[in-house]
Amino acid sequence: MLKIFNFVRSEILMEISTQETQFKGSDGQALDAFLAYPKDQEKHPGVIVIHEIWGLNDQIRGVAKRIAGEGFVTVAPQLFTRYKHVLTERNIESAMRRIWSIPPSKRNDQETIKKAMEGMTENERK
C-alpha cells in the first residue's frame, strides 16, 4: 500500500517516542542517529529519513516524528557523524568547495575526503 504524507501538517496522529541513538556503520564506527517510533507495542514498517546537506537538524527530526506519528518506525542517521567537528551549517559551503575540488574518480575514497576535510583552514571551519 502506498501512503502519501502531508509534511506540511504539524499534528502527530499517534503517540510516539523519540531518542538520540547510535548504530554501527559498515566500517564498525558508531554513527549518530535520531529514532522515532509509535509508543504502542505493535509491529510497524520502517522508514529511513535521509537529511539534506545541512545534516541531522531539527527540521529532519520533525520529519521523522511526523512519519512516526503516521505509524512508522523512523531512523534518521547523521551521515556526517565522522565529520561533525568539521561540518557545521556555517561552513558547509567551504566544505563542499573542497569536496568538489577532488577529482571525480577519488570522491568515493574516504582517505582522500578525510585529508581534504582535515586540510580546512581555521577560517573555513568557522
Mean pLDDT on 90-109: 86
Q: Measured between alpha carbons, how far is residue 126 from residues 45, 47, 51, 90, 123 in Å?
A: 40, 34, 22, 6, 6
Mean pLDDT on 52-67: 91
pLDDT band for position 13 (cuts 50, 70, 90) = confident
Alpha carbon distance 9, 35 (integer Å): 20
Alpha carbon distance 100, 109 (integer Å): 13
The three-state secondary structure class of 75 is: strand
Cell numbers of 17, please? Answer: 517516542
- 77-92: pLDDT as tens digits: 998 877 766 667 677 8
Non-local CB neighbours of 54 within 8 Å, separated by 6+ positions: 89, 92
Angle (CA) 49-14-1 rounded to 5° is 60
